[in-house]
Structure 1
C-alpha cells in the first residue's frame, strides 16, 4: 500500500485531497500546523503529524515518517492587497511558506525517492501562474517561483524515475487565503486603489471564478498516476479555461488577464 504525505491538510484543498486518497485506500500522512483542529475522519490508514514548513526541524521529523511514495506540497498563505501597502515582513513570510517551504520539503524527501528510484512530487501552485491576479503580487510571485522550480526539478529527477508535477487550482471562495496572517484587507487597499479594486472584488463573486475543493483533489490524483511527461495539471473549470486561453493567446498573460479582472 502506497503512502502519500500532504502538507496543509487542516482545511481546503489539502483536507479534501487527504480525504480523497483515504477513500482510495492509500496510507495518508496528513501534516498541518495544528493537528488538534483536524476535520479528518479516524482511519487506520491515517497519520496526523504537526508540521511547520518554515522549520527545518519540523520538516525533518515529518520526512522521517516514511517511506514516502508521494509528496504533495499544498501548504500556503497569502493576502490580497495593493503591493505598496503590503509590509515587506509579510512578503517574506509568504515566500518562506509558499516558496522556501516547498523547496525545503522537496529537499527532505528527494533522497529517499532517488534511492528507491520511485516517487512523485506534486507542488500545488495556483491559477495566478497562468494569469497574474491583481492585488496579490507577492502571492503570485511566490507561486511563479515554484512553477519554474518544479520544471527544473522535473529534468533533474527524471533519470531516477521520480516524477514531478504541478497542480494549478483556480479560485475557491472557501479557501482561507489570508490564513496565518494578522493583516486585514481593509488596511491593504489605500484610498487611491479603491476604484481599481472594486470591480476586481466583484469579479471574485462570479460563478465562473470558482473551483471546488474536489476538483483539486481529483487533479492531484490524476497527476500522481499520470506516467507521461506532462508537467501542468490545472484544477477547476476556471483554471482549465485559463490554461487553454494562455496557449491560444500566444502566452500573453496580461492580455487575457484583463478579460478576467476589468479596470
Structure 2
C-alpha cells in the first residue's frame, strides 16, 4: 500500500484529496496544524498528524512519524485579497512563510528518502493566478509564482533520481477559506481610494462564470500522481483549464 502525505487537510482541497486517496485504497497521512478526528471517517489506512509547515521541528517530527512517503502533496496555503499598498509587510511575510518557504522546507525534508529509493512524486498545489494574474492578490500571486518556478526547476533536478515533480493549478473556488489563517479583514485592505476599483472585482468574485470544485482538485492531484509522462502542469477546474488553454 502506497503512502501519501497531504498538507492542509483541515478543509477544502486538502481534505477532499485525502478522501479521494482513501477511497482508492492508499495509506493517507492527513496533516494539519491542529488535527481533528471528526473530519475524516476512521480507517485503517488513515493517519492524522499535526504539521505546521512554517515550523522546522514540526516538519521533522511529521516526516519521521509518517515513515516512507511515496507521494508528497504540498497543499497548505493562505492568502489575502486587498490592495497591495494597504497590505502590511507582516502579512505578506506570513503568506510567503506558508505558501513558499513552507513548501520548500517540507520538500527538502522528504527528498532524501525518495532519492535513496529512487522513487517518489511531489505535487505542489499553486493557483490559476499563475496562469492569469488577478488584481487585489499581488502577494498571494507572487508566493504561488515562486513555487511554479521552483517546481519547474526541481522537476529537472530530481528527475535524475526518478522522482517526479508536478504542479496542480486550481481555479477560483468560492468556498475556499484561504484567508482564515492570516488574521486580517478584507475591509482593512481596501482603502477608500481603491473602493471604486475593487467593487466590480468583488462583484465578479460573487458571480463567477466558471468555478473550481474541491473534487476537481482532488482528481487533478490523482491525475498528477498517476500520470507516467513528463507532464508538469495539471490545471484543476473548468476556469483553470480554460486559462491554461490561452496562457
Tell me the SS of whatever aligns to 1:131: coil
1:26-73 residue CA offsets vs partner (Å, 9 max, x unmatched): 000000011036511111100000000000000011111220000000
CA contact (8 A) 1:17 1:220 kept: yes
Tell me whether 1:14 sits opposite 2:14 in the alignment.
Answer: yes
Q: Structure 2: state its 5+ residue gaps.
A: none
Which structure 2 residues correspond to residues 227-242 of structure 1 after superposition, within 5 A? 227-242=228-243
RMSD in angstroms over aligned alpha carbons? 0.9
Alignment correspondent of 2:90: 89
- Rounded to whole Å, the distance in 2 between the matches of 1:34 and 1:83 is 30
SS in 2 for 1:167: strand
Alignment partner, residue 66 of structure 1: 67
Counterparts of 1:118 and 1:228, CA distance in 2: 14
Residues 128, 170 of structure 2: 8 Å contact kept: yes
Structure 1 residue runs of 5 or longer lacking an equivalent are 247-263
TM-score (norm 1): 0.92
Whether 1:78 aligns to 2:79 is yes
Partners of 1:4 and 1:69 within 8 A in 2: yes
Cα drift, residue 229 of structure 1: 0.8
**Contact kept? 1:3, 1:27, Cα under 8 Å:** yes
Q: Deviations over 1:74-115 (max 9, x none)?
A: 000001000000000000000000000000010000000000
Aligned residues: 246
Contact 1:10 1:38 in 2 (8 A): no
Q: Which portions of structure 1, spanning 4 or more consecutive aligned residues, are displaced by more than 3 angstroms?
A: none
1: CA distance, partners of 2:184 / 2:125:
24
